Structure 1
Amino acid sequence: MGLGILDIVLLTLSIMSSAAIGIYYGIKGRKSTPLEYLLGGKSMKPLPLAMSMMVGTVSAITIMGNAGEMYAHGTQMWMMDLGIVLGLVIVAKVFIPIMYPLDMVSLYQYVEKRFKSKWLRQATVVLQLLGGYFFIGFLLFPPSVALQAFTPLPSYANIFIVGATCTLYSAVGGVKAVVYADVLQSLVMIAGVLAIVIQGSMYAGGLDMVWDIAYHNDRIELLNFNLDPYQHHSFWLCIILGFFFTLGTFGVNQSQTQRYFSTGSIAQAQWVLYYAAIGMVFLRGLINLSGLVIYAYFKDCDPLTENDPHKDPAYVLIPYVKMVLTKIPGLSGLFVAAIYAAVLSSVSTQLNSMTALLWEDFLKVLPIFSDWSEVKIGGLQKVIVFATGTLGTALGFLVSQLQSFLTTLFAINGALSGPLIGLFLVAVYLPWVTYKGASAGFIVSIILNMWIAIGQVTLPKRALLPSSRSGCNTNPAVEMFIADDPFNVTATDNVFNLTTVAIDTMQMEDTKHPVYGLSYCLNSLWGTLFCIVVSVIVTAITGSNTPEDVDEKLIAPGSWVLFQRSLVLQAKEFFREKILRRESSTRGGNKQKDEELEIKDPLNNSLELKEPKDDDIESRGAV
């Protein structure tokens, strides 16, 4: 039940096409400037950039993880898409009009401009780089597991192959190669997921039967409005997860902001996000539906239960593909190609953006590069891509030791992105906050958020929804397949074998801090709130900005108006109590003025202006 000849042909064509695009743009742009290599000369069209943005975030983790989530925990996480759409609109309307006109390559140049602090800019870059390297490791692991099930190669060999492929064409072609390869890969991904949905729904008797089976087995849950923050998912938790995931990914993350920086205007940059929102809802919807289709097929013979109760539900895709799609030549190859396309697009996006950060924020200012030609700098950027890809591949081996990688990824990503979101919101909406307050808030939020995330990762996995094996005796093919260990990834296969020990839940509840049990969906929210609150408190203690300290174009217009209005009120108060009092006190010989100005000084020598009466004004006019 491995790959047939047609499957191998389709997979090979997919990979070779991506490599060919990279080589083409590498040859075409061999003398390109750094701006062309990183931003495509700021002349790229919104639609291909939107498709690149879509597949840059809908990765192999999404295909395998979301399908497994629907299979094992139900459909509540589907509501995350509402939060994603809301977040994309906010980014388009708030962040882009401020960030795009600044003509930046690195998004974090904004931090330095706003707070006049180079070290704070570099701190944000370091945090982004750490998250990016770790994310590459996550991106490489799921496809290596899928490929291991269809090829004789072990998972670590597949990690190396996929990582090397991504690194090669990303380094050669630059951002144009990445974007146009993403366009091709998005089509492959859609075709691969459609193959699962169509073939599976045919087995079940139609999509209506798939939904009916899921409904009667408690998989359909969309409107759980429970406010308990300790539950796995709810409507509110998923909205928060999607909203802050979007702010962290499309608002304050170099890998995606670099996409809309590559367009020619603010309006085009906004359309990139609008197109991406449509594509993401469609593709993520297909992926979520595929999880229900797989459940309908395995409803009476769960392949996860007996083989390994601690196995990640995302692996359920593998036995399904091997048992269902291999019956039709080419479909299993299409699925593997979709997984490959997903990881190629996501990793290449990360490599390109991290190269931009390393060059713009650290290397460009060094004296050694001051007299380098643009062509020579372009060559150096290719070397940086190779080095970044190598390190990311190494981290892929480390990530292979983790269980429940979708939840773990969201937990860690939320912990890292929350402080960044908070810092940017402070910068955009709170102009009176100084660099001291922002720095304190940023550091404190990182420490607190990482404490929470690390504690969450050490907790045991949440229980899956009930599943059945009562029908395995009527389907000997499934039973035999499960007995043969279809996942072919056990604890002994791990490269480093860090830990695979199951921990008793009651014991964990007794020994771990209760904050660890909070839903991982809230991690970004906590980081954002920590950063904002600490920034405001520290600024209140150490002193705030004035309009002379802040550039108006770096602030949201509404916040700037409020900032100015509060200062105008302060100026009026100062004028009335200081200037008018001084003028009136110098006119002591004028009895008429003395009558109008009544001095009251029982405790604090303050002055109070006494308005003249209308009768007095009329009588004076007559005189």
Structure 2
Amino acid sequence: MGLGTLDVVMLVLSLLASAAVGVYYSVLGRNSTSLEYLLGGRTMKPLPLALSLMVGTVSAITIMGNAGEMYAYGTQMWLMDLGILLALVIIAKFFIPVMYPLELISLYQYVERRFKSKCLRQATAVLQLVGGYLFIGFLLFPPSLALQSMIGLSFFLNIIIIGISCTLYSTFGGVKAVVYADTLQAVVMIVGVLAIVIQGAINMGGVENVMDIAYHGDRLEFFNMSLNPYQRHSFWLCVIYGFFFTLSNNGVNQSQVQRYFSTGSVRNAQWVLYYSAIALVSLRFLINMSGLVMYAHFKDCDPMGKADPTIVLVIYVMQQLTRIPGLAGLFVAAVYAAVLSSVSTQLNSMTALLWEDFLKVLPVFRGWSEIKIGYLQKFIVFLSGVLGIVLGLAVSQLGKSFLITVLAINGALTGPLIGLFLVALFLPWVPAKGATCGFVLAIAFNVMMAAGQLTIPKPPYLPLSREGCPAPPIANVTANVTAIEDVATTIATTLAPTLADITANITTTITPSPAPPENTTGEWLFGLSYCLNPVWGTMLCILLSVVMSAITGYNTPEDVEEKLIDPKIWRIFQRSLKQQIKEFFYETILRKRAPRDQNARGASDETGTREPLNNFMEAKDIKDNEIDAKGMV
């Protein structure tokens, strides 16, 4: 059940190919400027950037996690793809036309320019840096455990190989090496996941049979239209989650925004998002299908037991794909590619933030040449990679609960950040004080929500059966377990030591995770679906920003640069807010024409409303002249 020679060869070739891309672009860009190193000189083509954007979103955790989700909970989460597509269109239509022409390197330069607050800019950058470095550690940890089971290399060696590989090509090649290595890795990921789907469908008698088995196993659920917010997933919850997940990743996250900042025009930046939408939904389709294929294969002999659903993909690959030389190697290469692409994306973006938001303004660097700055940035990438490796090793020693806590809190920060950018783009009335108060209070609420949700038990899996597993003689149950159980126990012991009891209840139909108790403390609040977490953060940030601005005072058009605001909103903003409220009250509530104040009259002079008054004055002057003439006669 281990990898064969051809599998190992394919894995090594994929790693060498990524390294070769880095070497090639390191030679070409050995004297590159800061702009060339971080943004490719803003001359890169949309298609490779789109593939890089796609693989920066789909990590190895996504591959194993989404497949496990389909296996254990069904297909409802598939609907988040609708929210993903909607958010990508909104980013392309509203975010990019405002932000791209500003020629930013750090996305959070926009925050400083819009609110005229360096502190707010640095606060958002610090949050991104802390979250980014922790995320690198997390990206390295779970896949390395899975790879340990698949290829036999130790966990620590896997982290070091992955960490050093992406650190070296990211350091020497800059963003071009990262993007073109990502393009290669995107192909490897698609082929690796496609191998599971095709081979699995063939083994199960075709895609139609896979879907039929999934249907009868209650795995096909797409249109649960319930509005109950306490469900784990529904149509509306998944669409909302996909929408805010994408706004967070592709709209307000430096690591992804830096991709479409690297192309040559607003139009090209928009095409980066459109191309990435097609690639992302296609790859997610294959990943989700792999989960259904696994369910069809294991429907009568569940290998998961009480362990995490992510292990099922590893078990399936080791049991099924190793029978055909090269297929398992393709999948392992896909996992490596997913880790490499995600980590290298983070390394490049962290360097941009450190340089632009913190180091560039220091007096010591003011006299440095562009080439010298480029070498410094390479050194920063290298140090970031080393830090990422250390964090990956450290996270492995801190336990599963720490990982869940970090992810929950990191996720809690995304909503307030989305809210801050929406305020900046669409509410020019809000000044720095109001935005800062809304941002900070929304973060505090979301962190509280994330911490509280850790106390709520997970919902039960859909029914899983072990009735079809070959049962050994009763006397030898513990000594002669099946090969599937051996693999599952090994992986479960590694991934979740407290959940390693996977061989129990061999011949019973089970629902592995317990149902949550009815009266959990704080369930009325913390029991709300995690899909809504970014919604609370976003809405609170916006609402509190507006309320605090009403107390501290609103902006006027003289306080804000026009190019930092959505054009349609700016046209509204130019008019007096007081007059707009008065007009709304009269015309909507009282149903009559609103009186105009002096400013409105002054403004209306230019539109011709003063013309009747001018005509009257001219007529009066003519009449007076006629009377004077008669008097003289």
Q: Under a length normalisation based on structure 2, what TM-score does the superposition of the two structures give? A: 0.86
**Any unmatched runs of 5+ in structure 1?**
580-610
Residue 253 of structure 1: aligned partner: 253
Using the alignment, how far apart are the partners of 1:213 and 1:490 within structure 2?
26
Cα displacement (A) at 1:408: 7.2
Q: Which moved more, 1:519-528 or 1:39-48?
A: 519-528
Equivalent position to 2:333, from 337, 358, 361? 337
DSSP 3-state at the match of 1:486: helix
Is 2:374 aligned against 1:364?
no
Q: How does 1:496-507 map to 2 (within 5 A)?
A: none
Shift of 1:27: 1.4
Distance 1:130 1:499, change over 3 A: farther
Task: Assess if the C-alpha contact under 8 Å between 1:312 and 1:404 holds in 2.
Answer: no
User: Shift in Å at residue 485 of structure 1?
Assistant: 3.9
- Kindly state the Cα deviation for residue 59 of structure 1 after the two structures are TM-superposed: 1.2
Supply the distance in 2 between the matched residues of 1:195 and 1:524 (Cα, whole angstroms).
35
* Partner residue in 2 for 1:540: 550
- Is the alpha carbon distance of 1:518 and 1:243 closer, same or farther for their aligned partners in structure 2, counting shifts above 3 Å? same
Partner residue of 1:575 out of 592, 598, 614 = 598
Query: In the alignment, what sits opposite 1:224?
Result: 224
Q: Could you list the per-position Cα deviations for residues 236-273 of structure 1 after superposition, in whole angstroms to 9, with x for gaps in the alignment?
A: 01101110011111111111110111011000000000
- Could you tell me how far 1:519 is from its partner in structure 2? 1.1
| Aligned residue number for residue 592 of structure 1 | none
Within 5 Å, give how 1:257-268 maps onto structure 2.
Answer: 257-268=257-268
In structure 2, give the amino acid aligned to 1:321: V
Cα separation, partners in 2 of 1:577 and 1:520, compared to 1, 3 Å: closer
CA distance in 1, matches of 2:544, 2:103: 30
Distance 1:36 1:211 in 2: 48
Tell me the CA shift for residue 161 of structure 1: 2.2
Question: Quick one: distance in 2 between partners of 1:4 and 1:576?
Answer: 81
Which amino acid in the other structure matches residue 554 of structure 2?
S
| Distance verdict in 2 for CA 1:35–1:505, change over 3 Å | same
The answer on 1:525 being equivalent to 2:535 is: yes
| CA shift for structure 1 position 511 | 3.3
Give the Cα–Cα distance (whole angstroms) in 2 for the partners of residues 442 and 74 of structure 1.
36
Q: Over aligned residue pairs, what C-alpha RMSD do you find?
A: 3.0
**1:450 alignment partner AA:** V
Contact 1:143–1:343 under 8 Å retained in 2: yes
* 1:125 lines up with 2:146 in the alignment: no
Question: Mean Cα displacement is larger for which, 534-543 or 136-145?
Answer: 136-145
Question: Which whole-Å CA distance do the structure 2 matches of 1:487 and 1:181 have between them?
Answer: 35
Distance 1:508 1:499 in 2: 23
Any residues of structure 2 matched to 1:200-599 within 5 Å, and which?
A: 200-305=200-305, 309=306, 311-400=307-396, 411-473=408-470, 480-486=482-488, 488-490=490-492, 509-512=519-522, 514-567=524-577, 569=579, 573-575=596-598
Give 1:90-239 correspondences, 5 Å limit: 90-239=90-239
- 86-95 vs 552-561, which deviates more? 552-561
- Corresponding residue of 1:598: none
Report deviation, 1:142: 3.0
Cα distance in 2, alignment partners of residues 83 and 277 from structure 1: 11
The residue number in structure 2 matching 1:587 is none
Q: Distance in 1 between matches of 2:371 and 2:557?
A: 42
Q: Distance in 2 between matches of 1:36 and 1:63?
A: 32
C-alpha distance in structure 2 between counterparts of 1:74 and 1:402, whole Å: 28
Number of residue pairs matched? Answer: 582
User: Which letter maps to 2:377?
Assistant: Q
Change in CA separation of 1:34 and 1:577 when aligned onto 2, cut-off 3 Å: closer
Cα offset, 1:458, TM superposition: 3.9
Provide closer, same or farther for how the CA distance between residues 578 and 297 of structure 1 changes in structure 2, counting only shifts above 3 A.
Answer: closer
1:134 Cα deviation from its structure 2 partner: 2.1
What is the one-letter code of the residue matched to 2:296? A
- In the TM superposition, residue 553 of structure 1 has moved relative to its aligned partner by 0.7
What residue identity is the alignment partner of 2:50? A
Rounded Cα–Cα distance in structure 1 between residues aligned with 2:169 and 2:176: 11
Farther-moved stretch of structure 1 (348-357 vs 569-578): 569-578
Tell me if the contact between 2:405 and 2:451 (Cα under 8 Å) persists in the aligned partners: no
Tell me the CA shift for residue 338 of structure 1.
0.3
* Residue 32 of structure 1, CA deviation: 0.3
Q: Find the aligned partners of 1:410 and 1:238 in 2 and give their Cα distance.
A: 18
Q: Which amino acid counterpart does residue 444 of structure 2 have in structure 1?
A: I
TM-score w.r.t. the length of structure 1 is: 0.88
Instruction: State the one-letter code of the partner of 2:82.
Output: L
Conservation of the 8 A alpha-carbon contact between 2:456 and 2:520: no
CA separation in 2, counterparts of 1:57 and 1:492? 26
Alpha-carbon distance in structure 1 between the residues aligned to 2:363 and 2:547: 39
Contact 2:39 2:258 in 1 (8 A): yes
In 2, the alpha carbon distance for the partners of 1:52 and 1:238 equals: 25
Cα pair 2:461 2:513 within 8 Å, conserved = no
* In structure 1, distance between residues paired with 2:409 and 2:331: 28
Give the 3 Å change call, closer, same or farther, for CA 475–215 of structure 1 in structure 2. farther
Query: What CA distance in whole angstroms lies between the structure 2 residues aligned with 1:490 and 1:281?
Result: 30
Amino acid at match of 2:16: M
User: Match of 1:317, SS?
Assistant: helix
Retained in 2: the 8 A contact 1:418–1:525?
Answer: yes
Shift of 1:129: 1.0
User: In the alignment, residue 264 of structure 1 is paired with which amino acid?
Assistant: G
Separation in 2 of the partners of 1:174 and 1:135?
20
**Offset of 1:109 from its aligned partner?**
0.4
Are the counterparts in 2 of residues 70 and 291 from structure 1 also a CA contact under 8 Å? yes
Counterpart AA for 2:484:
I
Deviation at 1:230, TM superposition (A): 1.2
Distance change (3 Å), C-alpha of 1:301 and 1:505: closer
Amino acid at match of 1:560: W
Query: Structure 2 CA distance, aligned partners of 1:431 and 1:83?
Result: 27
> 1:582: which partner in 2?
none
- For residue 34 of structure 2, what is the aligned residue in structure 1? 34
Which position in structure 1 is the counterpart of 2:6? 6
The CA deviation at 1:515 is 1.8
Structure 1 residue 412 displacement after superposition: 4.0
Q: Secondary structure at the match of 1:510?
A: coil
The residue aligned with 1:589 is none
- Note the C-alpha offset of 1:525: 0.8
What is the CA deviation profile of residues 317-353 of structure 1, one whole-angstrom value per residue up to 9, with x for unaligned ones?
1110011000000000000000000111111011101
Q: Distance in 2 between matches of 1:349 and 1:168?
A: 13
The question of whether the paired residues in 1 share the 8 Å contact of 2:315 and 2:487 is answered with no
Unaligned runs of 5+ in 2: 474-479, 502-511, 583-594, 603-612, 628-633
Contact 2:492/2:499 (<8 A) preserved:
no
Paired amino acid for 1:360: E
Q: Distance in 1 between matches of 2:32 and 2:310?
A: 42
Shift of 1:479: 5.5
Corresponding letter in the other structure for 2:152: P
Per-residue Cα deviation, 1:150-181 (whole angstroms, up to 9, x for no partner) = 23333233223212222121111100000000
Structure 1 residues 576 and 107, CA gap change in structure 2 (3 angstroms): closer
- Alpha-carbon distance between aligned partners in 2 of 1:349 and 1:577, rounded to the nearest angstrom: 52
AA paired with 2:557? P
CA contact (8 A) 2:459 2:515 kept: no
Q: Structure 1 residue 433: deviation in Å?
A: 0.3
Q: Is the 8 A contact 2:170 2:381 kept in 1?
A: yes
